[in-house]
Structure 1
Amino acid sequence: MNWNRLVAAGFFAVLSVAAFSAHADVQARSSHLDIKKVISTVEDGGANCGIVNARMTYLDSSGTQKVLDYSKFAACGNQGG
């Protein structure tokens, strides 16, 4: 196994553990989200292809505007390659 594959496998293993931890944290704190309409979504990170902070502004079924801060994988255009 060459070093590039070993480094890549280690990197994805770390990302998998981080994603699982983030997912478990969200599940532990969340319940039902009452989202009628999404107004906007924004994510930090720029060129970062890891886990980034994101914010969604939305209206619930009663028309009240709310904000949800969460972590997610960045939308990278250079994946798979």
Structure 2
Amino acid sequence: MKRLIALALMGLSTLAMADDLKVAQPQPAVEQYTYATDLDIAKVINVSPVADVCGVVPAKMTYEDHQGQRHIIEYRVMGNGCTNG
């Protein structure tokens, strides 16, 4: 019985170490978007919130391409702080 418990604990510790390895992956370099940029987006991971200012502001999107590579792209958007009044 003690051996089964020991084996179970070893299995759990191995899974915990595997999760740590996933976190330790380096962040990809931030790429600047241009109209000529050829995007290959398979899955969007994260999009940064847009600032509440009236003007053009930077935003970032993290995504995976069809080969499973993660990318971060920075682009410009109009802020959410403009009113039509």
Query: Deviation digits for residues 9-49 of structure 1, max 9, x if unmatched?
Result: xxxxxxxxxxxxxxxx822xx3320001111111463x312
- Residue 63 of structure 2: which of 38, 58, 61 is its match? 58
Q: Which TM-score applies when normalising by structure 1?
A: 0.54
The structure with higher relative contact order (CA 8 Å, sep 6+) is 2
Matches within 5 A, 1:58-77: 58-76=63-81
More helix by share: 1
User: Does the 8 Å contact 2:50/2:80 carry over to 1?
Assistant: no
Number of residues of Structure 1 aligned to a counterpart in Structure 2: 53
- Residue 41 of structure 2: which of 35, 43, 51 is its match? 35
Query: Deviation digits for residues 24-78 of structure 1, max 9, x if unmatched?
Result: x822xx3320001111111463x312100100000101111110011111134x5
- What's the Cα RMSD here? 2.1
Segments of structure 2 that go 5 or more residues without pairing to the other structure are 1-32
Q: Which residue of 2 aligns with 1:12?
A: none
Segments of structure 1 that go 5 or more residues without pairing to the other structure are 1-24
Q: Which TM-score applies when normalising by structure 2?
A: 0.52
User: Does the 8 Å contact 1:43/1:53 carry over to 2?
Assistant: no
